[in-house]
């Protein structure tokens, strides 16, 4: 049973990618289920996290304060110790009503108390850490039987949290199989998507929820009137999609809501302008797309930015002006863009989901 929650799109996407990989590696041999752990098993305010998260993402300073204040081994332990009596009956219910061989958490919020109780029942528990580099202490439950992490930096963080090295595996970030197929013919993909095949295509994405100042960035790029085509994905943010559709663009622009064709869109694009979501970043690596990161959720996404910058797979451009300056330089000097693209491709880890799938099935059986 995969425990995820829709706070952002990344946790769900990670669970789906692993379940898909299990079916590909072990066809018909494993029964899997995905459950929104916060809304299904727990009372308010925990169950309200998916509604609260998009609001909090508009208040990054408040989020940052909460994130930093709660991020520490002792603090996490104390918090959940205090919450345990309140949560106990929900945790018991969850376990007794779901006689599964393995619980897998892809969400940090309730990871620790669930791991503890699963362990007390003598059952198995695994965590798939889906934050790339700056991983909150709540991810690392000492009772877990297995923890997979996306990067060496996340592994180091696990060691700091006293996780036994033998329990941790550096696997990369789980990404859906459809992203892991060969790039194919870019010109044909563009024709299929109805995009102009001659100009450089800049894909703009704000995670699953269309978060961050995506609109300001898109409008600033539009005002710069660069020789490029813009493709803007508003995700599940319907208001943003409607505003973008109403805008009169000077640049050739296509606006989408939530898309399922993200792999083809990434393969057909030349640059990805995005908030620093771990799923999107790792998918871009596989597509060999250079990144312009325009915003981040402070705390869990800080490390994503430093990682992308240090590996020179993209640049941090936290203002619309900086995004425009980067795009100008990459369009005027495509060789620069190609260096970043090659570095992005070097960081790709298309085998991650299948490696995680094998580890989990081994543990479950």
Task: Return residues touching ligand UDP (CB under 6 A).
Answer: 8-10, 13, 205, 207-209, 233, 235, 258-259, 262, 277-280, 283
Least distance from ligand UDP to the Cβ atom of residue 203, Å: 11
Least distance from ligand UDP to the Cβ atom of residue 226, Å: 24
* Residue closer to ligand UDP (CB basis): 91 or 153: 153
Per-residue CA distances from 47 to 23, 93, 234, 245 (Å): 30, 15, 25, 33
Least distance from ligand UDP to the Cβ atom of residue 334, Å: 25
**If we measure between CA atoms, which residue out of 35, 139, 165, 1 comes closest to residue 80?**
139
- For residue 29, the Cα-to-chain-centroid distance in whole angstroms is 28
* Residue closer to ligand UDP (CB basis): 208 or 299: 208
Q: How far apart are the C-alpha atoms of 167 and 145, rounded to whole Å?
A: 6
Least distance from ligand UDP to the Cβ atom of residue 269, Å: 12
* Residue closer to ligand UDP (CB basis): 208 or 314: 208
Contact call for residues 359 and 148 (beta carbons, < 8 A):
yes
Burial of 204 (0-12, 13-18, 19+ CB in 10 A): buried
Nearest residue to ligand UDP by CB is 277
Least distance from ligand UDP to the Cβ atom of residue 256, Å: 7
Least distance from ligand UDP to the Cβ atom of residue 282, Å: 8
Torsion (CA) 83, 86, 88, 93 in degrees, nearest 10: -130
* Residue closer to ligand UDP (CB basis): 10 or 158: 10
Per-residue CA distances from 353 to 19, 149, 305 (Å): 9, 12, 23
* Residue closer to ligand UDP (CB basis): 91 or 292: 292
* Residue closer to ligand UDP (CB basis): 102 or 272: 272
* Residue closer to ligand UDP (CB basis): 9 or 290: 9
* Residue closer to ligand UDP (CB basis): 241 or 343: 241
Least distance from ligand UDP to the Cβ atom of residue 82, Å: 28
- For residue 254, the Cα-to-chain-centroid distance in whole angstroms is 24
Q: How far apart are the C-alpha atoms of 214 and 200, rounded to whole Å?
A: 19
Contact call for residues 344 and 12 (beta carbons, < 8 A):
no
* Residue closer to ligand UDP (CB basis): 14 or 22: 14
Per-residue CA distances from 236 to 44, 54, 263 (Å): 23, 11, 17
Q: How far apart are the C-alpha atoms of 210 and 274, rounded to whole Å?
A: 10
Contact call for residues 107 and 4 (beta carbons, < 8 A):
yes
Least distance from ligand UDP to the Cβ atom of residue 81, Å: 29
Q: How far apart are the C-alpha atoms of 334 and 215, rounded to whole Å?
A: 25
Other CB atoms within a 10 A radius of the CB of residue 48 amount to 13
Least distance from ligand UDP to the Cβ atom of residue 260, Å: 6
């Amino acid at each position: 049973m995969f425990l995820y929650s829709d706070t952002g799109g990344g946790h769900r996407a990670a669970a789906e990618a692993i379940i898909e990989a299990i079916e590909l590696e072990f066809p018909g041999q494993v029964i899997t289920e995905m459950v929104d752990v916060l809304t299904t098993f727990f009372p308010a305010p925990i169950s309200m996290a998916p509604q609260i998260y998009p609001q909090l993402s508009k208040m990054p300073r408040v989020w940052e304060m909460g994130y930093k204040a709660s991020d520490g081994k002792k603090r996490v332990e104390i918090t959940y110790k205090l919450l345990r009596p309140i949560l106990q009956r929900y945790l018991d219910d969850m376990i007794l009503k779901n006689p599964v061989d393995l619980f897998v958490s892809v969400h940090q919020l309730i990871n620790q108390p669930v791991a503890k109780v699963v362990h007390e029942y003598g059952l198995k528990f695994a965590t798939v850490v889906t934050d790339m580099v700056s991983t909150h202490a709540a991810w690392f439950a000492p009772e877990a039987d297995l923890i997979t992490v996306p990067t060496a930096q996340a592994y180091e963080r696990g060691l700091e949290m006293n996780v036994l090295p033998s329990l941790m595996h550096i696997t990369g970030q789980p990404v859906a199989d459809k992203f892991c197929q060969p790039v194919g013919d870019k010109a044909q993909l563009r024709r299929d998507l109805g995009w102009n095949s001659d100009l450089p295509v800049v894909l703009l994405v704000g995670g699953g929820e269309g978060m961050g100042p995506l609109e300001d960035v898109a409008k600033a790029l539009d005002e710069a009137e660069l020789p490029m085509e813009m493709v803007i994905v508003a995700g599940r943010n319907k208001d943003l999609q409607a505003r973008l559709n109403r805008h009169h663009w000077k640049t050739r622009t296509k606006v989408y809501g939530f898309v399922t064709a993200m792999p083809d869109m990434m393969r057909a694009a030349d640059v990805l302008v995005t908030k620093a979501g771990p799923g999107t970043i790792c998918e871009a690596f596989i597509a060999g797309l250079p990144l312009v990161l325009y915003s981040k959720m402070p705390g869990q996404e800080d490390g994503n930015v430093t990682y992308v910058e240090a590996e020179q797979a993209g640049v941090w451009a936290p203002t619309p002006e900086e995004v425009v300056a980067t795009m100008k330089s990459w369009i005027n000097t495509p060789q620069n863009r190609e260096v970043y693209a090659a570095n992005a491709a070097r960081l790709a880890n298309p085998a991650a989901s299948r490696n995680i799938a094998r580890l989990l099935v081994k543990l479950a059986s």
